[in-house]
Structure 1
Amino acid sequence: MLWLGFALLTLAALGFLAWPLLRTRRRAAAGRRAHDLAVYRAQLAEVEQDAARSGISAAEAAAARLEIQRRLLRADVADGPAGETAAAPSPASGRLIRIATIAVLLLVPLVGGGLYLDLGRPDAAQFDRTLARAQAEHDRQLRSQTETLIARLRERLEADPGRADGWLLLARSLLTTDQAAEAVDAAGRVIALQPDNAEAYALRGEAQTLAADGSVTPAAQQDFQKVLQLDAQHPGARYYLGLARQQAGDNRGAYDDWRALAADSPADAPWLPTITARLRELAPRLGIALADAVPAPRPAEAAQDTAPGAPGPDQAQVQAAQQMSPEERTAMIRGMVDRLAEKLKAEPDDVDGWLRLARARDVLGDHDAAREALQQAVTRQPDRVDARMALAFNLAGPTVKSRAPLPAEAVAQFKAVLEQEPNHAQALWFVGRAAYEAGDKAGAARYWKQLLAQLPPDSPEAKELSDRISSLTQ
């Protein structure tokens, strides 16, 4: 059905191109015939005038009138080029126009379609959609399982209400499933049992904010301020207090709070993209250049190395970095990342360190250096699936979401993951995709059938994947 629509659109477009060509000769013929008729009628009128003035004899007038009427009749009944004078478009010209028109109608779709089939991939747009839907179905199942676990946890807490860890887990779970009002009560039970639990105050403040449709209420602000009394660097409390300032109209205060949080955050912090977007949104309102709106974050490894002498910056260095130019801050970060690399030379079996280094290199845009770090991690611990998947995606680069075929080295890593986890969903999808790209439809069907077995039978993702597998055998 989709291709039928494309064909109809192509024909419509070609029709607009061909119509002027087909009409050109007709318009020329019609214009020539109208001109001749006008001339002959004018000549006939002149003859009548000359005869009335006795300028010519009656016999001469009759002969002239007969000849002009004969020509007028001939021009009036003529149809197209056959009836026109020698000045009209020739038959050869008409044939040339028809040949050009046919060439346009045939060559445009044939050449365009051939190039698309050779260079394009008609089905690539749906390649990753099946995996995305499978992930969505997985998320729905996870939510259902979470709700079941919440019900069981409630039962246990009714029997043993003095378990602060249970109430904290319940508060997190309720917040995850968008039950903010219930999460407020659960976090309150934790605070009643443990008045100095910073995480409980943070959870209750966040739940109060979500229950108020994103508005940081005074009660939520009190909870976040209490969090900072217990943990001055808590990122969630710092973010929400900045949001409260913005909601109160204090854009400058919000910007300063968020900029300080960004400067204190490691480069791989999950909240950093949100903070960055907020800073870029406020900067134009405050007359701050976008190039200076976001401070350089700490490298990813700095959050992990907190012992004395570790390569991460101390508070004095962080404050000094805020006074640096963007180039100077980048140089400082590179220096710390390089120190982590030197540390790993002395401790090469630190796989987590290699993964941190890879993330930091990626943040700096050094994807080749990140690949080298990932290869070190995989070499040191070959059974580390997360390291192999990270290396596979690094090797694949933009082909993961484009129509270009996956690189062979990335496919090799996906296959290595399947050797360790034969039912790894992402690896099954990409190895199947690679087989399809190589023309191995049987191989693609085999991997995708294995993936299909993991999907709920009645889910839309299962149906789409099943249809795709069926198309491979046609």
Structure 2
Amino acid sequence: MIWLAILALAGLGFLAATRLFGLARSGWTLFGAALLFGLAGYALQGSPGQPAAPGAGPQPIADTGELMVRARREFYDPETMPSRYVVSADAFARQGQYEDAANFLRNAVTENPRDAEAWVALGNVLVEHAEGRLGAAALFAYTRAEELAPDNPAPRYFVGLAMLRQGEFAQGRRMWAEILAEAPADADWRPAIAARLERLDLLLSGGGMTAQPR
């Protein structure tokens, strides 16, 4: 019975994104694929029938906000500054104040709904606020970013990173490998993605996994 509830919630999330939030058809593939990947990962690793237990609490990741900001900026022109809201949000994200950062980024996408980098930044801080989990709101933000700038791989990169952090290693690696395969030879961000994919393969082959956007 609990799986019926989980599938129903996934269906409601998809309907909310497409009907209530007006997600364009071009973004349905990424949104639907990520939902399916999440369900597949939970089916393999989750235990929905087990009683709840207290969590161990977040690990000390004081530098994660700075790493996420730095990794995001790799996909955008360094000569072009983000909007003032994104700059302010980044300052809060670097301090681990993700809820405050999200509030600034909601202002950013309200003021300019076509600001693709603001949508990516919003997805990132929502994931961090959820302690690495890829929720429906973060996934919607990434999907909007991809819809606005389909040639920029930042949304797919960070969706893949979130999957890796959730233990969905095969799916996350596949997304990164696709990004690298499709990357223009002269893309400034290509060497960074290649290096991270190589490091990921080493970690996977060694049986360990600690995905950080270094």
With normalisation by structure 2, the TM-score equals 0.48
Greater fraction helix: 1
Q: Greater RCO between the two (CA within 8 Å, min separation 6)?
A: 2
